[in-house]
């Protein structure tokens, strides 16, 4: 076996697969892992949306207290915790974005050796990475949601503080 063929085999180069059945199986499995990553990402988003719904409900109860001065410290604690949860959520979204980006780069590399390239065609038709407005990536919208909650918590906290000071 010459050194070029050994290097191709060791790097997983498709020329070493023969009839491409191994490549097709690896492709199928890798697409499934990308799909599972997206499912985990959706579950993570649902978890954080539920948590923030609870935080907003809790802040509503605290804001209805007869003595807002007494409930201001718990409200502040709640908002600090909620803001930290937003930061964690944002980091997780960003992490999932990077994981999926790499997974799809690998899928595109694998498709170079397949007769049909569905993901490559999809990205070409959407104009991914060419123009933002033709295709707004889901992550761009998704990353805004935790920031929107932070803004909401800040506005409510400032409003509550003003009520306490007046």
pLDDT in tens, 65-90: 888 888 899 999 999 999 999 999 99
- Cα–Cα dist 155/157, whole Å: 5
State residue 8's pLDDT score. 52
Structure tokens at 63: 């804001």
State residue 147's pLDDT score. 97
Residue 2 located in a structural domain: no
* Whether residue 46 has pLDDT greater than 70: yes
Residue 4 located in a structural domain: no
Residue 138 located in a structural domain: yes
* Residue range(s) defining the domain that contains residue 161: 19-165
Domain total of the chain: 1
> pLDDT tens across 90-148, in order?
999 999 999 999 998 999 899 898 888 888 888 887 776 566 566 677 888 899 999 99
* Whether residue 55 has pLDDT greater than 60: yes
Residue 1 located in a structural domain: no
Non-local (6+) Cβ contacts of 7 within 8 A are 13
Mean pLDDT of the chain, nearest integer: 85
State residue 76's pLDDT score. 94
Residue 68 located in a structural domain: yes
Exposed e or buried b per residue across 89-115, where buried means at least 16 C-beta atoms within 10 angstroms of its C-beta: bbebbeebbebbeebbeebeebbeeee
Q: What angle do CA 102, 108, 111 make, to 5 degrees?
A: 145
State residue 1's pLDDT score. 47
Report pTM. 0.79
Residue 23 located in a structural domain: yes
At residue 23 the predicted structure's pLDDT band, cuts being 50, 70 and 90, is: confident
Residue 131 located in a structural domain: yes
* Whether residue 37 has pLDDT greater than 70: yes
Per the model's pLDDT, the better-predicted residue between 128 and 63 turns out to be 63
- Cα–Cα dist 118/134, whole Å: 19
State residue 15's pLDDT score. 56
The single residue listed with the structure tokens 């690896």 is: 26
Count other C-beta atoms under 10 Å from residue 68's C-beta.
Answer: 16
Residue 11 located in a structural domain: no
């Amino acid at each position: 076996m010459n050194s070029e063929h050994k290097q191709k085999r060791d790097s997983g180069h498709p020329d070493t697969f023969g009839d491409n059945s191994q490549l097709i199986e690896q492709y199928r499995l890798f697409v499934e892992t990308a799909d599972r990553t997206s499912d985990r990402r959706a579950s993570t988003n649902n978890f954080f949306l539920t948590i923030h719904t609870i935080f907003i409900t809790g802040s509503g109860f605290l804001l209805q207290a007869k003595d807002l001065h007494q409930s201001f410290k718990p409200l502040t604690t709640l908002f600090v915790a909620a803001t930290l949860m937003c930061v964690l959520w944002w980091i997780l979204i960003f992490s999932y974005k990077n994981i999926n980006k790499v997974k799809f780069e690998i899928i595109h590399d694998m498709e170079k050796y397949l007769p049909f390239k569905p993901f490559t065609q999809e990205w070409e038709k959407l104009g991914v990475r060419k123009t933002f407005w033709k295709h707004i990536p889901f992550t761009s919208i998704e990353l805004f949601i935790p920031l929107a909650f932070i803004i909401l918590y800040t506005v409510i906290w400032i409003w509550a503080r003003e009520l306490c000071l007046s």
